[in-house]
Amino acid sequence: MLAFLVRRVLIMVPTLIAISIITFVIIQLPPGDYLSSYIAELESQGESVDPARIAALRAQYGLDLSATEQYLVWVGGLLQGDLGFSFEYQQPVTEVVGDRLFLTVVLNAATILFIWVVAFPIGIYSATHQYSWGDYGLTLLGFIGLATPNFLLALVLLYLGNVWFGTSIGGMMDPAYIHQPWSTDKALSVLEHLWVPVVVIGTSGTAGMIRRLRANMLDELHKPYVVTARAKGLGPMRRLVKYPLRTALNPFVADIGNLLPQVVSGSAIVSMVLSLPTTGPMLIAALQSQDMYLAGSFLIFLALLTVIGMFLSDLALAWLDPRIRLGAGTGR
Amino acid sequence: MIPARPAAAPPLLQLRSVRIGFDLPEGQLIAVRDVSFSVPHGGVVALVGESGSGKTVVSQSIMGLLPRRARILGGEILFADPDTPGTVVDIARLPAEGRQIRRLRGRRISIIFQEPMTSLSTLHTVGNQVREAVEVHRLATGRLAEELAHDMLHRTGFPDPARAYRAYPFELSGGLRQRAMIAMALVCRPALLIADEPTTALDVTVQARILKLLRDLRSELGMTMLMITHDLGVVATVADEAVVMFRGEIMESGAIDDIYRRPGHPYLKALMAAVPRFNMGRDERLVPLREIGPAGGRLLAPRDEDPATGPPAGDPDPVLLRVDRVCMSYAARRGGRLTALDDVSFDVRRGECLGIVGESGCGKTTLARIIMRALQPDSGVVRYAADRESPGPVEALARFRREVQFVFQDPFGSLNPRMTVFDIVSEPLVIHGIGDHASRRAMVSELMQAVGLDIRHLTRYPHSFSGGQRQRIAIARALALRPRLLVCDEPVSALDVSIQAQILNLLRDLRGALDLTYIFISHNLAVVDYIADRIAVLCAGRLVELAPRDVLFARPVHPYTRALLSAVPEPDPDRPLDFNALADPRQSIPSEWPMPFRSDDRHHPGLVDVGDGHLVRAAHAP
């Protein structure tokens, strides 16, 4: 088990290095840099730009270095916790991102929790009551959830939230608390606002998970080992939870790694519609203005989430499934 | 209160006119009709039948484990629990998930299944699953439950119960898994044990040990057994009474002696005649329930008339294929190598049928793959007679692929479900670019007749055929290129007894009619005995004995061969298994064999000729 852990952690290192290189290349891919798009913007407004000042800025930001040197500087900074400097905001990236990263994590953790809490009972019910009216009804709801565009759902829920609960439209907290230090009231306000984006972002994920859980459970429900459990005299509920559900869990645990980045990037459009102070909209803006270090930090953050998610799901799988832990095939 | 049973105590289990139907989309199917029999206290009753006879459905109804679409339409299943004398429960009337039936299940009536790997949960330890049965019925908890589980694992023959308790099923061998399953079924000391094909998935030597275990435990724990099986040999070995089912109805029932000596019903007689037995006369034929008459035709005629591929006249090399000192090993998971084949050599003579016998893991499938040139051995070669005549290795391989064909074990997996029978049978001709459409059609028709199938079925897909018919399609495909050598890897082990007889007869007839040579691989000694001229015995990757069929059965020399022969239960109550002779599991471990047979790091015995072409792996003639 220890060897497995060490091996698994060691694999993460080259993965992260490769990802950082690819991220950097992608950021560098569009022609020009932040300054050239800044100049173009100024010139379109009829202002002249002093070439000497531009050169000075270039040198200051390190944009005159070769791509390799720029990469090394950037990665060196990352390792020391220095995310670099945002040209657009004229502030260190850490300060620009600020609460956003934290709020993003809160939002997405809440969403994943929502998906699981809703999808599990429904999926299990659908599987154990296959082809019943309940199954059909829930399946229909699931398909509607899959088919409705997120932003439309966002608008509808915002309207309903405002009309029924009087919650202010958009944002993740009441406007009064923005830029205020954290307090109990601010946290409560966040919770009050959280449910709309959570439902919006989580709906399609929930619907998808219900379908998969139902299919997985149906595969397992009639396996011989379930019959054995029945022959032992186990009651329906205990049997279900101990055997088929346990086996059906594997694909979900394996899925955690995919879930994290998917939810994070999937929330960008919704966040723009809902004007949420999460990382999604900022990432898009940073990519547009070629705000290199800001965009790079976001992309690395996403990559880190993926890699960590995969690591966690591998750990959980090894914990859940002795076949993986003990390194055995499914030999007959 | 007088605990003594009244004179006319009811039998432990009694079925009265049980009818079971399945609700299918196309209407109701009656799977079991008017089945009545009883299982007396302490007896062993065997429920015998082929697949589709309804024997498993009957066993499920006794446990209340019928699938959701099945319903008991009538009759009674009366269970007289000896723990509560005087009360009789009608299981047929209990709700399937009710408290009453759950109190019986696993506690008073237990079941063990055919496939211990899938019947045990892979994610839970053996100990967890064994003690669960105790805990569910609130017979014990905590330490006591664990002790009960340990005790039962010990009784079922685990050398180290504590280790088995912590093990996961996939860490155990097939035989030990079935022991774990038995421990789980018996840990609550049930009055009735239902064993549903408990040894069908196991090797013969393991089967013999499990049968012995069941017999011992039965007398030790004083339980009654209902054994469900298709194997008449197993029935003769363990049962007192037998109930023979066919298509959902009871054909015949009675004491074992009566059943075997005076079979009354034509079905039972036919079944008996279809089972291959040892020491059948050379010309004696099995009688399948329905004989198929193969008809050879012009296109399939022996090749002698064909100058292009025929052997050079006057000098027929008697050896068609030579396997020479083949060794093969696989990389094992935890480092090291796993030896699959160790110095295997033999000849296949033109026109003979060479049987290769061995238990699972002995390397017989690896050997078949090496012979087919699907695997490259680590060392050693397989020479095919015609290789020398080919100008180069490419031509030699092309010719080899035409002349050597393979028949697989599983007729369900070996036929592409998306191809019609015509496409399947003609595919080899297409691959090798032989003939045009018209000639292929003629060839396929002739092949279908050769294996006794209706040529009107050529446009059908494999799913509309039974297992036996599919295997015949697979044989037709293998014959399409008019091969010289047919390698059959367990071709009948997935089939029912009566179908098995049909296929064996077909292979026998085709061999004579088409001048074929066979390599016939099987774990079933009686089947190999029926079809082979010479038999090679494989154990742990080693060829331990090779002899003409009569010699091998009359004078087996190697200890493993002897163990193998003594472990086969025969369908004859006069020749029961000698359980005491086969209790030793060391007979299949080469380093445990006595001298001069021992094979380990220091001893590398070769093959010794003891006369009559009888070869034994030993340091010197024993």
Is residue B249 located within the same domain as residue B309?
no
Q: Cβ separation of B121 and A243 shorter than 8 Å?
A: yes
Beta bridge partners, B322, equal B347, B383
CA distance B121 to chain A (A): 6
- Percent over 90 (pLDDT), chain A: 4
Q: Which of B101, B115, B123, B131 to mutate to test the interface with A (most CBs of A within 10 A)?
A: B123
Is residue B208 located within the same domain as residue B68?
yes
Q: Cβ separation of A224 and B113 shorter than 8 Å?
A: yes
Task: Among B33-37, B158-162, B291-295, name the one with the lowest average pLDDT.
Answer: B291-295
Among the partner residues A232, A247, A331, nearest to B106 by beta-carbon distance: A232
Residue-level pLDDT at B131: 92
Q: Cβ separation of A228 and B120 shorter than 8 Å?
A: yes
Q: Which of B94, B109, B119, B134 to mutate to test the interface with A (most CBs of A within 10 A)?
A: B119
Residue-level pLDDT at B182: 92
Task: Over range B248-257, report the average pLDDT.
Answer: 91
B275-285 burial by CB neighbour count: b if 16+ within 10 A, else e? bbbeeeeeeee
pLDDT tens digits, one per residue of B335-392: 667 888 988 999 999 989 999 998 887 888 899 999 999 989 999 999 998 888 888 8
Tokens of B457: 């079925």
Instruction: Using the Cα atoms of residue B387, residue B389, residue B393 and residue B397 in order, give the sign of their dihedral.
Output: negative
CA distance B612 to chain A (A): 39
Is residue B336 located within the same domain as residue B424?
yes
Is residue B178 located within the same domain as residue B35?
yes
CA distances from B152 to B119, B163, B184 (A): 18, 13, 8
Is residue B228 located within the same domain as residue B321?
no
Q: How many Å apart are CA B287 and CA B290, to the nearest integer?
A: 8
Query: Which run of H or E residues covers position A191?
Result: helix A184-221
Q: Cβ separation of B65 and A326 shorter than 8 Å?
A: no
Is residue B317 located within the same domain as residue B217?
no
Q: How many Å apart are CA B28 and CA B23, to the nearest integer?
A: 5
CA distance B335 to chain A (A): 12
pLDDT at residue B3 above 50? no
At B1, the pLDDT band (50, 70, 90 cuts) reads very low
Give the angle subtended at the CA of B579 by the CAs of B574 and B582, to the nearest 5°: 125
pLDDT at residue A257 above 80? no
B410 — contact with chain A (CB < 8 Å)? no
B589 occurs within a structural domain: no
Residue-level pLDDT at A270: 76
pLDDT at residue B58 above 60? yes
Which chain A residues touch B130 with a CB distance below 8 Å?
none
Task: Over range B155-161, report the average pLDDT.
Answer: 87
How many domains does one find in chain B?
A: 2
Q: How many Å apart are CA B274 and CA B269, to the nearest integer?
A: 9
pLDDT at residue A330 above 50? no
Instruction: Read off the amino acid at residue B170.
Output: F
Q: How many Å apart are CA A193 and CA A188, to the nearest integer?
A: 9
CA distances from A59 to A297, B177, B371, B431 (A): 21, 72, 72, 69
Contacts of B192 (CB under 8 A, 6+ apart): B12, B13, B39, B62, B79, B108, B109, B110, B223, B224, B225, B226
3-state helix, strand, coil in chain A (%, to 5): 80, 0, 20
pLDDT tens digits, one per residue of A62-80: 777 777 888 888 888 888 8
pLDDT at residue B543 above 60? yes
Residue-level pLDDT at B333: 63
Give counts: helices (H), strands (E), chain A: 15, 2
Is residue B319 located within the same domain as residue B381?
yes
- Percent over 70 (pLDDT), chain B: 93
Where does a domain end: B520, B555, B590? B555
Task: Among B173-182, B303-312, B394-403, name the one with the lowest average pLDDT.
Answer: B303-312
B6 occurs within a structural domain: no
Give the angle subtended at the CA of B362 by the CAs of B401 and B515, to the nearest 5°: 35
Is residue B255 located within the same domain as residue B196?
yes
Q: What is the DSSP string of A146-164?
A: HHS-HHHHHHHHHHHIIII
Q: How many Å apart are CA B560 and CA A317, to the nearest integer?
A: 43
pLDDT at residue B306 above 60? no
Residue-level pLDDT at A327: 63
Task: Over range A284-310, report the average pLDDT.
Answer: 80
Is residue B309 located within the same domain as residue B452?
yes
Q: How many Å apart are CA B123 and CA A243, to the nearest integer?
A: 8
Residue-level pLDDT at B310: 46
Residue-level pLDDT at A169: 60
Contacts of B591 (CB under 8 A, 6+ apart): B598, B599, B600
Q: Cβ separation of A233 and B136 shorter than 8 Å?
A: yes
How distant is the alpha carbon of residue B73 from its chain centre?
34
Is residue B238 located within the same domain as residue B315?
no
Is residue B326 located within the same domain as residue B436?
yes
Residue-level pLDDT at B303: 56
pLDDT at residue A329 above 70? no
Q: Cβ separation of A247 and B123 shorter than 8 Å?
A: yes
Q: How many CB pairs under 8 A join A and B?
A: 84
pLDDT tens digits, one per residue of A113-167: 898 899 888 988 998 888 889 899 988 888 888 888 888 888 888 788 788 877 6
Which chain A residues touch B103 with a CB distance below 8 Å?
233
Chain A contacts to B (CB-CB under 8 A):
223-225, 227-236, 238, 242-243, 246-247, 320-323, 326-332
Task: Over range B595-601, report the average pLDDT.
Answer: 83
Q: How many Å apart are CA B153 and CA B125, to the nearest integer?
A: 13
Contacts of A122 (CB under 8 A, 6+ apart): A138, A142, A210
CA distance B58 to chain A (A): 14
Backbone angles phi, psi at B371, to 5 degrees: -60, -40
Q: Cβ separation of A229 and B121 shorter than 8 Å?
A: yes
pLDDT tens digits, one per residue of B468-507: 889 999 999 999 998 999 999 988 887 888 888 888 988 9
Residue among A309, A263, A302, A282 nearest A22 (CA): A302
Instruction: Give me the CATH topology for the region A97-325.
Output: MetI-like fold (1.10.3720)
Q: How far apart are the first and last CA of chain A?
A: 24
B279 occurs within a structural domain: no
B613 occurs within a structural domain: no
Which chain B residues touch A332 with a CB distance below 8 Å?
117, 174
Q: Cβ separation of B119 and A332 shorter than 8 Å?
A: no
Alpha helices (H) along B458-496? 467-479
Cite the beta strand spans of B455-572 per DSSP E.
485-489, 517-522, 534-539, 542-548
Residue among A225, A252, A223 nearest A321 (CA): A252
Q: Cβ separation of B136 and A232 shorter than 8 Å?
A: yes
At B547, the pLDDT band (50, 70, 90 cuts) reads very high
Contacts of B347 (CB under 8 A, 6+ apart): B319, B321, B322, B323
What's chain B's average pLDDT?
Answer: 86
pLDDT at residue A260 above 60? yes
Q: What ipTM goes with this model?
A: 0.79
Q: Cβ separation of A323 and B170 shorter than 8 Å?
A: yes
Output the domain CATH number for residue B480: 3.40.50.300
Residue-level pLDDT at B582: 65
Q: How many Å apart are CA B76 and CA B159, to the nearest integer?
A: 43
B90 occurs within a structural domain: yes
Give the range of the structural domain holding residue B405, as residue numbers without chain letter: 303-555
Task: Over range A207-227, report the average pLDDT.
Answer: 88
Residue-level pLDDT at B308: 45
B170 — contact with chain A (CB < 8 Å)? yes
B150 occurs within a structural domain: yes
B168 — contact with chain A (CB < 8 Å)? yes
Angle between helices A224-231 and B174-186 (to 10 degrees): 30
CA distances from B411 to B363, B374, B401, B417, B474 (A): 21, 20, 21, 11, 7
Q: Cβ separation of A320 and B123 shorter than 8 Å?
A: yes
Is residue B197 located within the same domain as residue B309?
no
B298 occurs within a structural domain: no
pLDDT at residue B313 above 70? no
| Domain boundary assignment for chain A | 23-82, 97-325
pLDDT at residue B129 above 80? yes
Query: Which run of H or E residues covers position B240?
Result: none
- Percent over 90 (pLDDT), chain B: 35
Among the partner residues B102, B119, B124, nearest to A233 by beta-carbon distance: B102
B371 occurs within a structural domain: yes
More confident residue, A166 or B70: B70
Q: How many Å apart are CA B616 and CA B24, to the nearest integer?
A: 57
What's chain A's average pLDDT?
Answer: 80
